[in-house]
Amino acid sequence: MRAWNDICSGKSDPNLVIPGGKTFLLWPVQFYGPCKPSQIYVEVSGRIVAPRIDDYGSNHLDCWIGFWRVNELTVKGNGQIDGQGAGWWEAYTSAMGFYGCDNLLLQGLNFINSQRNHISVAGSNGAAISHLTITAPDESPNTDGIDISHSTNVRVSDCTIGTGDDCIAFGDQTSQVFVKGVACGPGHGISIGSLGMNGGSAQVEEIHVDSCSFKGTQNGARIKTWQGGSGYARKITFNNIKLNNARNPIIIDQFYCPHRTDCQSLKSAVQISDVSFTGFSGTSATDNAIKLSCSETVGCTNISLEHIDIKSASGDENTYSSCINAHGTARKTFPHLRCLK
């Protein structure tokens, strides 16, 4: 913290280095800006390890390593961030968070076993995230790879993510996000949402996912919203997707209720529109390979599917599609989408 204070105040060169060849046990720490230098650099070459849950006592925070209002921040290196999350994956602590950090560059790090989600980006305009490796056991709950919310102009590329929850999830107030070259698996896929929880209003648009793969995931390309929400999720594209034994390769779920308790049937819903799925190929672990379950009252509009070829991972060509109140077009799609209005 003394080093950070010197850097942020401009008393020393704006470079914070975590040296290689060493392991550092780090208690929860928050780095606050704004800073005087126009750019701040954090180089992580060593290994940073979180305390185990029994050592935290009452020091539970939303984020283990947090950066707040630090613009033009670069965090990169070949080091490792180890959250030692086993035993408390139901907690609410992210491993690393960036809050209000415009023009962020995050590159090269290896994240393992986060306490909850590995990386959070919120309230930020402009972020480039690339060449990360993010790993947690497939049975570890809530260990999302990258969560992005209340942010715009974000690019995620060339990452390998295998966790117990969403590889990447896009939350409310998010737009202009471009994802390319992400290998996902295990995990719950790349997800828009969940949106509209507790009657909330969502504004999500211009999310574009290209040239990604799903291997052994619970979902592939997913949009999930709760009953009773409002607002919109629109102008979303999933292109050039490779599937290997992925469950639910294409899924819109407007009846999202993960714990299957107190699930409600309500008239209002997030409006889903202008969504395209193009160039999907590979195998599905579920026979219902395409599932478009839209609100019975609001429905989904202008849904486009083209050049889809999803066969059964068991070797049988018995995959099928299902729809609820989904409107759009399908061209050169297998399984066929006769249910699309």
Listed residue (236, 221, 194, 201) closest to 291, CA to CA: 221
Listed residue (271, 139, 263) closest to 201, CA to CA: 271
What is the pTM for the complete model shown? 0.96
Please state the separation of Cα 296 from the chain's center in Å.
Answer: 27
Give residue 53's pLDDT: 73
Q: Using CA atoms, how far apart are residues 92 and 56, in angstroms rounded to an integer?
A: 13
Under a CB-based contact definition with an 8 Å cutoff, are residues 332 and 308 in contact?
yes
Q: Using CA atoms, how far apart are residues 244 and 187, in angstroms rounded to an integer?
A: 13
Give the DSSP per-residue string, 175-239. Answer: EEEEEES-EE-SSS-EEEEEE-GGG-EEEEEEEEEEEEEEES-S-SEEEEE-TT-EEEEEEEEEE
Can you tell me which residue has the tokens 């799903």? 214
Under a CB-based contact definition with an 8 Å cutoff, are residues 115 and 85 in contact?
yes
Q: Using CA atoms, how far apart are residues 5 and 205, in angstroms rounded to an integer?
A: 38
Question: 188 has which bridge partners?
Answer: none
CB atoms within 10 A of CB 226: 25
Indicate which residues carry an active-site annotation.
Answer: 188
Q: Extract the residue ranges of the chain whose pLDDT is less than 70.
A: 54-61, 88, 90-91, 317
DSSP state of 278: E
Give residue 208's pLDDT: 98
Give residue 58's pLDDT: 55
What is the distance in angstroms between the CA of the first residue and the CA of the last residue of the chain?
A: 59
Can you tell me which residue has the tokens 């790879």? 145
Give residue 262's pLDDT: 79
Can you tell me which residue has the tokens 């919109």? 232
Give residue 265's pLDDT: 84
Give residue 59's pLDDT: 55
Structure tokens at 230: 């409002």
Give residue 214's pLDDT: 98
